[in-house]
Chain A
């Protein structure tokens, strides 16, 4: 089951649904009512993120899902210093949205 994520300039990435479930601020959208057919793609907008940032965020979620289930040999996740600050702000923004939605 796949999900499509769309960034600020319309770039699209397609991910496994399990990975997207970590993005809790869109939980409502992902676990919607009804059953979906196999291979059906659902869209999810992240219009505040630039494409290279969205790519890195998705790579992180994949990394996290992989090593949460198997934490024996966690490898390094490298982030270039130029993008690190924007990524930090984006990650904080995600957390804030998550809290806002959880408290609603």
Chain B
């Protein structure tokens, strides 16, 4: 079974440039499972990189130091403290302010990670704020970790200390995400078929339970304006929630198997979802239309084959910050970089047993975690965006598709603004 469309010569696709690797130390001899990197994350200000290294450990490394190490030591870098200390300057004055590496033992297998930072203007939604134990200051950077037993632990990134322990889920907390508006609202997605909304400025009070999934919830993502949340899960589920009223807006139908990852574009106009049915779909979240399909198996599988074990599950998807590129990880041992508008990847790189991916805060690097606890990094394909695309992103950040359709502009411009790409043949498997 081919990984690319028949018209494409696989050898002509450009290989993405490797930046570096963080290899896990050898597994403890008595542990056969539990060593996976289920999640990787970058801090919103680009200062830290975190990954769940397996065996209950989360590693936090200062990102700029990590990049410097890759350049100095070549691309391989085994993660132990001594190699990082070699390049750290030993000046007493500057030591306190420099970000430090932390290794956190979370007490249970870590399935999800999310960074959050507060913006002082955002008030807690709770009225009584005098009796709060925690005052989140201007400088606070938090790391939320979702564990195997359903607990969520909140850590302070700069000191490595445990701040809060959120207990409510009864099953694995598979994904965590903070609202991008700095309000420290945290959403957790769990195998107990629910999502929970927590207000960390209110001592971690659980505000709402989102019910609707019939099966495991795999992932969740906020839209950039924090108004919508997408949650995806087993049994083909893709749901969109209104995060002002906590109601379900719509269900997006089209996948044939479990949907395991989702991400919004930076202007909120596009939603990417990855599924075990070998496909990544790019949706318009405002009206539920499928705009693009990124296939990983050719010829595309029929619905029955797509709905089962087809050896080509897509495990992760992530939108880059320029709103033009998408990265996907699939079980055919490849990372693919796609460009919006083209149905064939623009760059690829080999990766075995990839489980999760995330773009760095400045969008220049993609990190991917694997089953043995290691993380690999590649340079993102960069291009200068066209003036039209920059205008489109600026408009779409503030305007949903329904309003765009009412603009007094020619239909070609409307199509462009709505990210509509004309296809000659309909999507396979759809009527």
> Which residues of A does B touch, CB under 8 Å?
57, 60, 63-64, 67-68, 71-74, 77-81, 84-85, 87-89, 91-92
Known: A60-B387, A64-B384, A73-B362. A88 touches B397 (CB 8 A): no
Beta-carbon contact of B383 and A71 below 8 Å: yes
- For A73, the chain B residues whose CB sits under 8 A away are 362, 364
Is the CB–CB distance between A91 and B388 below 8 Å? yes
B409 CB contacts on chain A under 8 angstroms: 85, 89
* Other A-B pairs beyond A57-B387, A85-B409, 8, CB < 8 Å: A60-B387, A72-B382, A73-B362, A81-B395, A85-B391, A85-B395, A89-B413, A92-B388
Decide if B72 is an interface residue (CB 8 Å cutoff). Answer: no
Instruction: Let me know if A79 and B362 touch, CB within 8 A.
Output: no
**B404-420 CB contact bits vs A (8 Å, 1 = yes)?**
00010100010011000
**Closest approach, in angstroms, between the C-beta of A56 and any C-beta of chain B?**
9
Q: How far is the CA of A84 from the CA of B413 in the complex (A)?
A: 13
Residues of B368-400 at the interface with A, using a CB-CB cut-off of 8 Å, are: 382-388, 390-392, 394-395, 397-399
Q: Which residues of B have CB within 8 Å of A80? A: 394
A88, B409: Cα distance in complex, Å: 10
B395 near A77 (CB under 8 angstroms)?
Answer: no
A-B contact pairs, 23 of them (CB 8 A): A57-B387, A68-B384, A71-B382, A73-B362, A74-B384, A77-B390, A79-B391, A81-B394, A81-B395, A84-B390, A84-B394, A85-B391, A85-B407, A87-B387, A87-B391, A88-B388, A88-B391, A88-B392, A88-B395, A89-B409, A89-B413, A91-B386, A91-B388
B: residues with CB less than 8 A from A are 322, 362, 364, 382-388, 390-392, 394-395, 397-399, 407, 409, 413, 416-417
- For the residues of A in contact with B, the DSSP-based class is helix
Given contacts A73-B364, A81-B398, contact A91 B391 (CB under 8 A): yes
CB contacts (< 8 Å) of A63 on chain B: these are: 384
* Chain B: minimal CB distance from A41 (Å): 25
B387-A91 in contact (CB<8A): yes
> Given the complex of chains A and B, what is the CA–CA distance between A78 and B391 in angstroms?
9
Shortest CB–CB separation between residue A21 and chain B, in angstroms? 16
> Which B residues touch A91, using CB under 8 A?
386-388, 391
In the complex, chain A residues whose CB is within 8 Å of the CB of B382 = 71-72, 74
> With a CB–CB cut-off of 8 A, which chain B residues contact A88?
387-388, 391-392, 395, 413, 416-417
Q: Which residues of A contact B413 (CB under 8 A)?
A: 88-89, 92
User: From B388, which residue of chain A is reached at the shortest CB distance?
Assistant: A91
Give chain B nearest CB distance to A28 CB in angstroms: 22
Task: Write the chain A residue with the least CB distance to B382.
Answer: A71
Contacts of B407 in A (CB 8 A): 85
Q: Are A81 and B384 in contact (CB under 8 A)?
A: no
Q: Could you tell me if A84 and B362 are in contact, using CB atoms closer than 8 angstroms?
A: no
Min CB distance A33 to B, Å, is 31
From residue B3, how far is it (CB to closest CB) to chain A in Å?
A: 28
Kindly list chain B residues whose C-beta atoms are within 8 Å of the C-beta of A57.
387
Q: How far is the CA of A57 from the CA of B383 in the complex (A)?
A: 18
Q: Nearest Cβ in chain B — how far from A7, in angstroms?
A: 17
| 4 nearest A-B pairs in the assembled complex, by CB-CB distance | A88-B391, A84-B394, A91-B387, A79-B394
Residue of A with least CB distance to B398? A81
Please indicate the chain A residues that have their CB under 8 angstroms from the CB of B399 in the complex. Answer: 81
A77 to B241, CA, bound (A): 31
A91 to chain B, nearest CB (A): 4
Which residues on the A side are within 8 Å of B395 (C-beta)?
81, 84-85, 88
Beta-carbon nearest neighbor of B386 in chain A = A91
A-chain residues with CB within 8 Å of residue B385 when the two chains form the complex: 77
> Whole-angstrom distance between the alpha carbons of A78 and B322 in the complex?
12
Contact residues in A for B387 (Cβ distance below 8 Å): 57, 60, 87-88, 91
Residues on B with C-beta less than 8 A from A79 are 390-391, 394
Cα-based distance from A50 to B127 in the complex (angstroms):
49
Q: Which residues of B contact A92 (CB under 8 A)?
A: 388, 413
A87 to B387, CA, bound (A): 8
Name which residue of chain B comes closest to A78, CB basis.
B394
Across the interface, name the chain A residue whose C-beta is closest to B363: A74
- Report the minimal beta-carbon distance from B104 to chain A, rounded to whole angstroms: 31
